[in-house]
Amino acid sequence: MSYKKLDIFNIALALFFKAHARSLKLPKYELYELGSQLRRSADSVVTNIVEGYGRRIYKGEYIRFLTYSHASNDETILHLTTLSRLYPEFSNDLDELLKQYDNLGGKINNYIQYVVKNWNVKPPDDK
């Protein structure tokens, strides 16, 4: 198995591309402020899933990186909420992304619980 087959990875990657594109439509003075923070936190959701998967032989490490991913997801939700309130003209697009990130947060949390309860010390065979 590969991280590329994890639903949370695929959803997070798709949302990253949406958040990145949306952030580039913000006013110019916001591109390097909240826009940059949004892009970095959205990227961190995905990269922590991948980095954690690379350490999956160590259950505690895997859980730690999945927890980082969940925290970055929460940070992304905060940035989307802030931008939606600051720029009501973008709120429809941002609110939709916010809902999708909120859903992703639940999926990451469920996956963390699965790993906590079911992950063996020996990782599953990669295919």
CATH number at residue 48: 1.20.1440.60
Residue 62 has pLDDT above 60, yes or no: yes
- Residue 126, domain member (yes or no): no
Measured CA to CA, the distance from residue 94 to residue 87 in angstroms comes to 10
Residue 1, both tokens: 């198995």
The pLDDT value given to residue 32 = 87
Residue 127, both tokens: 């295919």
- Residue 77, domain member (yes or no): yes
- Residue 91, domain member (yes or no): yes
- Domains held by the chain: number: 1
Residue 34: strand, helix, or coil? helix
Task: Tell me which of 3-12, 68-77, 90-99 is least confident.
Answer: 90-99
Which residues lie closer than 8 Å to 22 by C-beta, 6 or more apart?
38, 90, 93, 94, 97
- Residue 49, domain member (yes or no): yes
Range of the domain at 70: 3-118
- Give the pLDDT band of residue 31 (cuts 50, 70, 90): confident
State mean pLDDT over 4-31.
Answer: 95
- Residue 113, domain member (yes or no): yes
The pLDDT value given to residue 127 = 47
State mean pLDDT over 30-49.
Answer: 95
Measured CA to CA, the distance from residue 80 to residue 91 in angstroms comes to 9
- Residue 123, domain member (yes or no): no
Contact 77/105 with Cβ under 8 angstroms? yes
Question: How buried is residue 24: exposed, middle or buried, by Cβ count under 10 Å (0-12/13-18/19+)?
Answer: exposed
